[in-house]
Structure 1
Amino acid sequence: MFLQELFGLFSLSAFFMWGFLMAFFFNIFVYSIGLKKGTTLLFSSFVMMCSYTLSDYFFTWLSFKNSFYLNFALYDIATITALLCLYKIVKKTTPSFLYLVLGLSINTTFFLLMHLDLIIYQNKEHWWLWDAYMYSVNLIDITMIVALIVDRDILGLHKLKNAIRTLLNPSANSRMP
């Protein structure tokens, strides 16, 4: 729990909330000067900014009591749902969309595992899952912020997705002349 001791729980939360807010402001700026004509990135960054602002520690009126990790899992599921509804409406994605949905899905899995470990099983002994949770969730949040700002395939996830799709459906490539 080195990061938590170094920065504190609230300052990391504020940092990520600020990061998504800045990504949203950056996308408003890029859209307003006409560099990006599509609104998908703008809407995606708005959804992420709203999600992280509403799920911040200061807004606990929608939270379940004594279910810290379950609250975050539910917020992430709601955010994924909002992003997928946005996709159904706009019918267009940006490179950052895959990073957002995949990152939120991984974070949700970690939140549910931590809820299971700490609340359901009432484990009090520190073990590797806690460190994996802390570093992974924070790294994924930073990656999502960067993906919203640069809007590029920064980790090669789209190339990996296309390679897997090609491996699973090789007949699609054989039809090409």
Structure 2
Amino acid sequence: MFLQDLFGLFSLSAFFMWGFLMAFFFNVFIYTIGLKKGTTLLFSSFVMMCSYTLSDYFFTWLSIKNSLYLQFALYDIATIFALICVYKIVKKTTPSFLYLVLGLSINTIFFLLMYIDGNVLENNKHWWFWEVFIYTVNLIDITMIVALIVDRDILGLHKLKNAIRTLLNPSANSKMP
């Protein structure tokens, strides 16, 4: 629990909320000055900013007793749904879109596993999974913020996706003579 001890639970939450807010403002600026005219990145960063603001500890309106992790999982599922709706409306994606959907999906799985560990199995003794949870979720949140700002394939996920797609269906990528 080094991160939580160092920064505190609320300051990390505020940091990520601030990060998504700054990513949104950056994308508004880039759109306004005309460097990027695509609205997908702008809408995606708006959805992420709204999601992290609404799910912040200070604005938890959906209160399910003793299930903060379940609440966060539900917020992430709703955010994934909102991002998919934006994609369906705009019909385009950006390199950051994959990072957002994949990151939120992984976070959702971790939140559900923490909910099961604490509420269903009633585990209250610290074990290695809690450390993995803290570092993974925070690293994914930072990666999503960076992906929204730089809008590049920073970890090579798109290359990996294309390589897997080629391995699974090699005839789709071969050129016909």
TM-score normalised per structure 2: 0.98
1:72-107 Cα shifts (integer Å, max 9, x gaps) = 000000000000011111110000000000000000
After the TM superposition, which residues 1-177 of structure 1 pair with which residues of structure 2 at under 5 Å, given as runs?
1-177=1-177
Measure the CA separation in 1 of the matches of 2:123 and 2:14: 28
5+ residue gaps, structure 2? none
The runs of 4+ residues in structure 1 deviating greater than 6 Å are none
> Percent of pairs identical after alignment?
85
- Aligned residue for 2:57, secondary structure, equals coil
1:174 maps to a residue whose letter is S
Across the two proteins, how many residue pairs are aligned to each other?
A: 177
Measure the CA separation in 1 of the matches of 2:50 and 2:110: 21
| Structure 1 residue 63, shift from structure 2 partner | 2.4
1:124-173 Cα shifts (integer Å, max 9, x gaps) = 11111101100000000000000000000000000000000000001112
- Aligned residue for 1:58, secondary structure, equals helix
Measure the CA separation in 2 of the matches of 1:154 and 1:25: 21
- Aligned residue for 2:56, secondary structure, equals coil
C-alpha RMSD of matched pairs (Å): 0.7
| Structure 1 residue 60, shift from structure 2 partner | 1.9
| Structure 1 residue 175, shift from structure 2 partner | 3.2
Measure the CA separation in 1 of the matches of 2:40 and 2:50: 15
Measure the CA separation in 1 of the matches of 2:168 and 2:128: 34
TM-score normalised per structure 1: 0.98
Measure the CA separation in 1 of the matches of 2:74 and 2:108: 8
| Structure 1 residue 176, shift from structure 2 partner | 3.8
Measure the CA separation in 2 of the matches of 1:77 and 1:125: 28
